[in-house]
Amino acid sequence: MKILAIESSCDETAAAVTQGREVLSSVVLSQADMHAIYGGVVPEIASRNHITAISRLAQAAVDQAGIEKEELDAIAVTYAPGLIGALLVGVNFAKGAAMALGIPLIPVHHVRGHIAANYIAFPQLEPPFVCLAISGGNTAIVDVRGYTDMSIIGTTHDDAAGECFDKAARVLGLPYPGGVPLQNLAKDGDDGAFDLPHAKIQGHPYDMSFSGLKTAVVNIVHNARQKGEALDEAGLAASFQRAVSETLVPRTMAAAESLGYDTVVVAGGVAANVRIRADFERACEKSGRKLFVPPLKLCGDNAAMIGCQGYYEYMAGARAGMELNAYANMDIDKVVF
């Protein structure tokens, strides 16, 4: 079945046509340059730009797939979680398209979509497995028992890993989005230059906290500048990456061990980070587990992953009516539509 997928949860407007795990077309329009001057995403600007772009991107996806819109079998759309105004643009467009074409509307959870990016990249991948979903808005260790049967077993109690990257980059004077600039700065740094906090949540071995790490980086930079002292910025960037990775990787591996899974999956925008990828490779090689991490083009927000997960949601019976709403927050295992 051919699915037109729509993604608008943050600052990328995206559309794709998929057929199962096969991607027939995928287009993404980033707003990063518009938000860079503010040092982060401005929700109102994001929503307005989704409105101006979504219709032409959907048509572009259909055209690139080499089909007519009448050949579509369903519309899949991200409806949670994300920026509420941005989500509403995608949801309302998808509802209109489904109604006009007389085809089913499939609601898709954004994080489930990120996990499904690995299905596109790796045709051999099947549940069960443990997945670390890491992005600007979400950080969670997920027990993926089936394509639509999953639950969170560990999450952050405050900031998402991606948000922490952006804030650390910003205080270092690096451009938004901060992941790649901070990674590049860290290349020449000593990851042992600074002793940064590694928070633990008592009684919750798989849960995480990044607010203390973010605050520590901010304080180090501010103190150096206030005293007029030279700061080893490359060393701080490298130490920061190490602290994030040492928070994420051991917890994910421990979860895989506890669940008895021999497969570890990583998904989301922060999965593009070279330090985190390398540490997972070493950990999985040491433990004898298989590791799946999507290529860089599938780490960030895109509609192809929504279409792929939408297929499995459809096969599981998920349908939404014209009353479908958007939700800023929603657990991966508490799907409501």
Which amino acid is residue 180, in one-letter code? Answer: V
Looking at residue 174, the DSSP 8-state letter turns out to be P
Greatest CA separation for the chain: 66
Do 99 and 77 form a contact (C-beta atoms < 8 A)? no
Which candidate, 56, 67, 76, places its Cα nearest to that of 3? 76
Of 15, 99, 45, 82, residue with least CA distance to 320: 99
User: Do residues 144 and 309 make contact, with C-beta atoms less than 8 angstroms apart?
Assistant: no
Q: Encode the chain (337 residues) as per-residue pLDDT tens digits.
A: 999 999 999 889 999 999 999 999 999 998 777 777 777 788 888 899 899 999 999 999 999 999 999 999 999 999 999 999 999 999 999 999 999 999 999 999 999 999 999 999 999 999 999 999 998 888 999 999 999 999 999 999 999 999 999 999 999 999 988 899 999 999 999 999 999 999 888 899 999 999 999 999 999 999 999 999 999 999 999 999 999 999 999 999 999 999 999 999 999 999 999 999 999 999 999 999 999 999 999 999 999 999 999 999 999 999 999 999 999 999 898 776 6
Strands (E), 243-335: 263-267, 290-292
Model-level pTM? 0.94
Closest CA to 186 of 136, 245, 250: 245
User: How far apart, in whole angstroms, are the C-alpha atoms of residue 36 and residue 42?
Assistant: 10
- Peptide bond before 107: cis, by omega within 30 degrees of 0? no
| CA 203 – CA 227 distance, rounded (Å) | 40
Give the orientation angle of helix 211-227 with respect to helix 233-259, to 10 degrees: 170
Helices (H) and strands (E) in the chain, counts: 10, 10
- Look-up: residue for tokens 């990828």? 277
- CB neighbours (10 Å) of residue 226? 8
Alpha carbon distance 206, 283 (integer Å)? 16
Going through 135-279 in order, the beta strands assigned E by DSSP cover 139-144, 150-155, 263-267
Task: Output the pLDDT for position 38.
Answer: 75
Polymer length of the chain: 337
The neighbour count for residue 331, using CB atoms within 10 Å, is 15
Measured over the CA atoms of residue 212, residue 215, residue 221 and residue 223, the dihedral's sign is negative
How much is the pLDDT for 152? 95
Distance CA 229, CA 245 (A): 28
Taking the C-alpha atoms of residue 17 and residue 310, their distance in angstroms, rounded to an integer, is 11
Contact 321, 32 (CB under 8 A): no
Domains of the chain, earliest start first: 2-114+299-315 (3.30.420.40), 127-297 (3.30.420.40)
